[in-house]
A and B are shown apart, each in its own frame.
Chain A
């Protein structure tokens, strides 16, 4: 198992670096220009702010969800996975329907005779990144809360701890364990932002590294420049992973009895805070999604026939990469929990790689061997696995560590190893994060457009590629309806896996 973890970790590192090296080798070097430094500054600044805001907003929401019980709570927790799996342009359109120039907010403001607000600029980039990432942060932090054994809260209660003391002894150690990884994940995600930053950033002021890479690869064919930029991006992402690695400390609550004891609801202003947090999360989540998806639903009935085989292809790729991702992430997380901490870096770096350079590099590597079109689906599968790995790993890691600390020695002393240990101990204990990871991976790879565009011929299009083709041929309304189909099927996969994981725990 440990050897397998090392092998997979190395393979992930190779898969991240080899395409980059291939691109640089093909170009004969690395190049950067003066304009890149301002792109780097903007990229870092927006990623930092986006990650801070997402995490800060997620803490009260996760806390409220961990101790409040209300109708629809379980659905809301599932829906937290949804923004993350919206295709970027759908998310942007949804936000514009609310905050845009002719959106709900500004229409209301001008009806009241108030000055309107512009979403275009850094504020728009942040709103979009928070919309896309804060639900994920909430889920990650919520898992942390749920991983604190209920007996610890009972004990605190019987010792008459004040909320402040509970925070100090239980919640703060948990947050110190969970937050750095959550932060690094979101930071790395926002590093590679391209369309969101450009559209909502309002123009060339909001140039990110990924846009510069796009320009270098697609327009100027300056591969040295692209490789230089991609390397910069990977270095920054790696640095973030390193900082998270240093900052995180295991909370060490010890094992509990796995009883589900409802936490008491708070009193006074804290009760109001909880309700506000939940209300805010619900509105901020559902508003943009409903605004963009509802009007397009009517178009579902007359979708073109191209859509259905594309949907089947997307589903197949999604299920394949889900299986691969879950296996690799599980092996890596268990390996890291047993002391191979460098795996942290191997499992975070894929987030910071540019999808375009990854695709281009693989293309350069494989094209001399085999016609690219025959590789479209296998390569997509591989890349999707690589890109989903960081999330799955990050979700599994805290619980894998707790599992190792709490039950590792017992299992060792019982001689429980290999597959038996996996079946009897690891899988049941990790069912919840594993289900969530599987759901996210499936949904992510359903929606991924990344490399398929570089490899596919007409007969191999996945659903996101068909949507792109439709929206380029004036059929924006059909593209919108096809997006509804994409979102619905992504969400169905996500819901299925996530539900399974959460029920297995009970």
Chain B
């Protein structure tokens, strides 16, 4: 019965090319959209690997990990691309990952060296605003709390930028985090499940500021020839999001997976990142014209283990401060 059911259903599937080896990359949704890095990355790697790259998407960064945990050792994926360092401790604990064998990426503002996870891009979180409407943006969380600006943020329970903001406030203020959230509560217009809803509310003019990245204005400048958007530098420093990839220990294509990891550090891969994923490349290559104006003076980042251990308490703090 099992076999006949499987045989029946596999008839419905598109038959895969049997001869060329297939590298399955599990990643987040926006990576494989027509404007994401996916298509160019696939083409570039296929031209050197004599293999077939197949992307499988599983929602956003957080749901990638859940997907892996669900599939366990029987996952089809060879490589996972799109976790961030707030999730790597949990990812490591699954025991599903194998060492990538590559030297650490060299263009990050803080060193990140992990045997299992290799950064492929990164950016700082920041509040993005329209500089024609707000010539003097707040310069810190405290100034934001004191202003009457309305911001839209993402829910840390369902989105990785939301979790990033939670840890940003915690890293900057420690025990005062709850107080900061209480101060911010009348500035938070609303909380969205994911990044795209929040950013949509901002571009529709519903909110004054949105939690996004310092590299978001670059999209508007380069992609839309619109120089009205900017990010507000905060004196506390800016929390980093470092996006990483890793090899699954159970991959049936370990050599290909290793080759792909090396490829993520190559100029061919890295040069695609800035203008498709709108993040900083992880290696030292030239940035596109107009990509960057200024950088934050100070970077904040919890270690993988700290991020994991801080999260639950910070979440409860966030929830109770905003529910009052």
A201, A364, A473, most chain B CB atoms within 10 A: A473
Q: Which of B286-324 contact A (CB under 8 A)?
A: 318-319, 322-323
**Binary contact readout B27-43 vs A (1 if CB under 8 angstroms, 0 otherwise):** 01110111110100000
- Report the separation of the CA atoms of residues A369 and B8 in the bound assembly, to the nearest whole angstrom: 12
Cβ contact within 8 Å between A472 and B28: yes
> Is B190 in contact with A199, judged by CB distance below 8 angstroms?
yes
Interface-facing stretch out of B103-111, B198-206, B256-264, B265-273? B198-206
Interface range on chain B (Cβ under 8 Å from partner): 35 or more
1/0 per residue, CB under 8 A from A, across B167-209: the answer is 0000000000000000001001111111111011101111100
The interface residues of chain B lying within 8 Å CB-to-CB of A456 are 56-57
How many whole Å from A195's CB to the nearest CB in chain B? Answer: 5
B193 and A373 contacting across the interface, CB-CB below 8 Å: no
Chain A contacts of B191 at CB under 8 A? 198-199, 202-204
* Cβ–Cβ contact A369 & B6, under 8 A: yes
CB nearest neighbor in A for B223: A474
Contacts of A369 in B (CB 8 A): 2, 5-6
Say whether B65 contacts A453, CB under 8 Å. no
Whether A368 sits at the interface, judged by CB under 8 Å, is: yes
B150 on the interface (CB 8 Å rule)? yes
User: A360-B70, A472-B195 given as contacts; is B28 within 8 A of A454 (CB)?
Assistant: no
Please tell me if A74 contacts chain B, counting CB pairs below 8 Å: no
CB pair A89–B197 under 8 Å, yes or no, is yes
Q: Are A458 and B58 in contact (CB under 8 A)?
A: no
- Does B12 contact A214, Cβ atoms closer than 8 Å? no
CB pair A101–B206 under 8 Å, yes or no, is: yes
B107, chain A: closest CB distance, angstroms: 22
- A203 to B13, Cβ gap below 8 A? no
User: Cβ of B199 and Cβ of A100 under 8 Å apart?
Assistant: no
Those of A414-470 within 8 Å (CB) of chain B: 453-454, 456-459, 465-466, 468-470
Known: A35-B319, A101-B207, A102-B205. A472 touches B30 (CB 8 A): yes
Of A371, A377, A476, the residue contacting B203 (CB under 8 A) is A476
A219-B158 contact given A199-B197, A205-B322, CB 8 Å threshold:
yes
Complex interface: chain A residues within 8 A of B9 (CB): 370, 374-375, 378
A218 touches B193 (CB 8 A): no
Residues of the B chain whose Cβ atoms lie less than 8 Å from the Cβ of A102:
204-206
CB pair A458 B54 closer than 8 Å: yes
With a cutoff of 8 Å between Cβ atoms, the chain A residues found around residue B150 in the complex are 101
Check A200 for interface membership: any CB of B closer than 8 A: yes
The answer, among B69, B193, B206, B323, for a CB contact under 8 Å with A204, is B323
A413 at the B interface (CB under 8 A): no
Q: Which residues of B contact A375 (CB under 8 A)?
A: 9, 12-13
Distance in angstroms between the alpha carbons of A202 and B188 in the assembled complex: 8
Expressed in whole angstroms, the Cα–Cα distance for A87 and B39 within the complex equals 27
130-161 of chain A: CB within 8 A of chain B: none
Beta-carbon contact of A476 and B12 below 8 Å:
no
Residues from 26 to 84 in B contacting A, C-beta threshold 8 Å: 28-30, 32-36, 38, 54-60, 62-63, 65-67, 69-71, 74, 76
Whether B193 and A458, one on each chain, are in contact in the complex, defined by CB atoms closer than 8 angstroms, is no
The answer, yes or no, to whether A93 is at the interface (CB within 8 Å) is: yes
Q: Which of A204, A305, A370, A472 contacts B60 (CB 8 A)?
A: A472
Determine the distance from Cα of A375 to Cα of B5 in the docked complex, in whole angstroms.
12
Partner of B54, one of A200, A221, A457, A468: A457
Q: Quick one: closest A residue to B67, CB to CB? A: A454
Interface readout for B1-18 with A: 1 if CB under 8 Å, 0 if not? 010011001101110000
A96 touches B206 (CB 8 A): yes
CB distance from B128 to the nearest CB of A (A): 11
Q: Is the CB of A469 within 8 A of B36?
A: yes
Top 10 closest A-B pairs, CB basis?
A472-B30, A374-B13, A469-B33, A471-B196, A215-B157, A473-B30, A203-B191, A304-B34, A218-B63, A458-B55
Other contacts beyond A200-B190, A469-B30: 10, CB < 8 A: A102-B205, A367-B71, A369-B2, A369-B6, A375-B9, A375-B12, A471-B196, A472-B33, A473-B35, A474-B219
